[in-house]
Amino acid sequence: MLADEGVLLLPDLHELRERLVGLRFPDGVTAVREHEAWLGHEAMLAPDVDGDHLHPLWPLIVGMRGMGTSVSELCELVGKRPDDAIMFGELEITQVAPLVVETLYTVRGEIRDVVRRTGRRAGVFDVVTFELELCPPSGAVAATVINSFVFVRRT
């Protein structure tokens, strides 16, 4: 949003929270193919995993890939301006069952929180936290990923 002086204004935090907290992403679907699992495990220097089971870091990748909205669309939702920076924030993975190669996972997601903070070096930044549930065809939740992105607001 532009001010009369031609300066980009910060998105209003109250409006962001009202509009975004509780917003569900469209359900998405994705699967990890055998060659992707092999490449990923090689890149992670992961020991051989049990059969078709994926390394415990895969819920992050599956969640982000299948979350039903792109990072670009998420940036648009939170009002990222051209000079703002985006960083990966905190991550929490809860895995109830191992993810399996070649299994189609439905990813359900929702924005959980939006908070504004000020740091000495970064200045003003917004932390957007969202939760993703990864469900195999049975419908049971195999893993939950809680992720936050930090939007550094250049003023």
Prediction pTM value: 0.89
pLDDT digits (tens, 9 = 90+) for 28-52: 999 999 999 989 888 988 876 677 8
> Which is nearest to 100 in space by CA: 131, 137, 70, 68?
137
pLDDT of residue 155: 72
User: What's the full length of the chain, in residues?
Assistant: 155
Sorted by where each begins, the domain ranges of the chain are 13-152
pLDDT of residue 96: 97
Which residues have CB under 8 Å from 108's CB, separation 6+? 24, 25, 27, 68, 132, 133, 135
pLDDT of residue 5: 57
13-152 belongs to which homologous superfamily? Hotdog Thioesterase (3.10.129.10)
pLDDT of residue 152: 96
Written as one letter, the residue type at 144 is T
- Give the pLDDT of the chain (155 residues) as one tens digit per residue: 444 555 668 889 999 999 999 999 999 999 999 999 989 888 988 876 677 899 999 999 999 999 999 999 999 999 999 999 999 999 999 999 999 999 999 999 999 999 999 988 888 999 999 999 999 999 999 999 999 999 999 87
How many whole angstroms separate alpha carbon 54 and alpha carbon 102?
A: 10
